[in-house]
Every structure is written in structure tokens, then in C-alpha cells.
Amino acid sequence: MILYTLRCAHDHHFEQWFDNSSDYDAKKTAGQLVCPECGEKHVEKAIMAPSVGKSAAAAPAPACTPMGCGGCQFAGQH
């Protein structure tokens, strides 16, 4: 399933789910896309921001030696 933000000729924006991009194309060609606000059938995909998940917290920096940075020449600098 894919969620598209759509825009009608009157600049109303709305979202609609499709099975895939071909499903969107088929419904557009068949005139089955209708603005829920005004009933306009001239509907196009609107510019959308990508849906990006939140990343996990960054991993801690590795220790210089198995015992940590205490004996490292760069102790306290990184």
C-alpha cells in the first residue's frame, strides 16, 4: 500500500491509499479520483515529503583500548 497526497484543480489537498503506483495510474485514467471537498475529478499527485522513520540513537564512540581511554595518548581529547 502507498499513501499519496493528491491535489485537485481547486488546490484542495487530500490523502488517498493505493495498492501501488499502477493502482493510482489506473484510477486516474478511469476518472475514479474525486476531491472529497468539492467533487472535482481533475486530480493530480501533490508534491510530498518522503516518509522517513526516526533513526536509532547514535552508537557510542569506541574506546581506544579495551580498558577505555585512560592509557591512550589521546585521553580526554575525543
Instruction: Tell me the per-residue pLDDT of 1-26, one tens digit each, with 9 for 90 and over.
Output: 999 999 999 999 999 999 999 999 99
- Report which DSSP code applies to 59: P
pLDDT tens digits, residue range 38-55?
A: 999 999 999 877 766 676
Does residue 13 contact residue 6 with C-beta atoms inside 8 Å?
Answer: yes
Instruction: Determine the average pLDDT of the residues in 71-78.
Output: 63
Cell of 49: 515529503
pLDDT at 62 over 70: no
In angstroms, the CA 71 to CA 49 distance is 48
